[in-house]
Amino acid sequence: MSSYTHLTIADQGKGGVVRVVTIDRPKALNALNREVVRELTAVVDALGADLGKTRGLVITGGGPKAFVAGADIAAMANMSPEEARAFSSEGHTLGFKLAALPVPVIAAVNGFALGGGCEIALACDFIYAAENAKFGQPEVNLAVIPGFGGTQRLLRRVGLARALELCMTGEIIDAEEALRVGLVNKVVARGEVVDAAVATIETIAKKGPLAVAAAKQVLHKGADLVLAAANQEEIEAFASMFATSDQREGMAAFLEKRRAAFTGE
């Protein structure tokens, strides 16, 4: 496994099926700069090229105070528009690659997830939050807007009116409010958020991996299509499952009242 300057990586869960990536810049509250974004992208690229035994990815922040407290303002303060465009594009590329992974990606948010941190969390398939988590897109306080997909992913999670309110006021909300508006999937006790995310991926790892990948792909793609086109995507993906050994094994196991042994084929 490659080594990184700003990330630590460990395989957890039974059989090591969960890749846990920790953003580790404690003195900067794990703030994002170009190097962190590029290292995260490299991790995702490596997984996309060879999943091996990995059946899911968890992204979290080092220490109890922050998932990612935001982008590194010192690194951005003197950017030209061209440099800002390039930085934003790299953040968007990371988000697209997380969505393209054929395994679940969970953000385990332990503390502040502000600005770019909230955007990284939003780019994950779903979000688990510790009780002390805080979420927000406060970029307007700096006279800019979210640049890593926050405006678009936020509105798809919480609806247009709430996304407008969060992006225009810069309001920071706690974990319970984030749960109420649909920004996060689950709130757990402090210190337990990574374990909760790992446990969920262990559960998913027992399912048919091709079906999990297809469900993720259809849901992500369908979110940007009109209903009729999205339904057609589902029809084609559903049909494609019946060409797999896993489908035959899964249905045989159900009828025979035994646990299925999926192979991803």
Q: Would you mind telling me the total number of residues written for the chain in this entry?
A: 265
**Same domain? 55 vs 92:** yes
* Single residue among 204, 222, 238 that ends a domain in this structure: 204
**Same domain? 234 vs 166:** no
Number of domains forming the structure of the chain = 2
Residue at 21 is within a domain = yes
71 versus 22: the higher-pLDDT residue is: 22
Per-residue pLDDT band at 3 (split at 50, 70, 90): confident
**Same domain? 199 vs 246:** no
pLDDT at 213 over 70: yes
Residue pLDDT, tens place only, 135-167: 999 999 999 999 999 999 999 999 999 999 999
Per-residue pLDDT band at 1 (split at 50, 70, 90): low
| pLDDT in the model for residue 72 | 86
Q: What are phi and psi of 3, to 5 degrees?
A: -105, 150
Per-residue pLDDT band at 20 (split at 50, 70, 90): very high
The token pair at 224 is 């940007």
**Same domain? 108 vs 18:** yes
List the CATH number of the domain containing 123.
3.90.226.10
Q: Which residue numbers are catalytic?
A: 119, 139
| pLDDT in the model for residue 71 | 84
- What number is the average pLDDT over the span 208-232? 97
Domain housing 126: 7-204
DSSP assigned state of 141: G
Name the strands in the sheet holding 56-61, side by side, starting at the edge strand that comes first in the sequence: 7-12, 18-23, 56-61, 105-109, 126-130, 186-188
Q: What is the pTM of this model?
A: 0.95
**Same domain? 14 vs 105:** yes
Whole-number Å distance between alpha carbons of 223 and 230:
8
pLDDT at 231 over 80: yes
Residue at 41 is within a domain = yes
State what percent of residues in the chain have pLDDT above 70: 100
Residues near 190 by beta carbon (within 8 Å), at least 6 away in sequence: 64, 110, 130, 131, 132
Helix (H, G, I), strand (E, B) or coil at 228: helix
**Same domain? 196 vs 226:** no
Residue whose structure tokens are 């210190």: 191
Mean per-residue pLDDT of the chain = 96
The token pair at 164 is 């407008």
The token pair at 1 is 């496994």
- What number is the average pLDDT over the span 84-112? 97
The token pair at 222 is 């369908």
**Same domain? 188 vs 234:** no
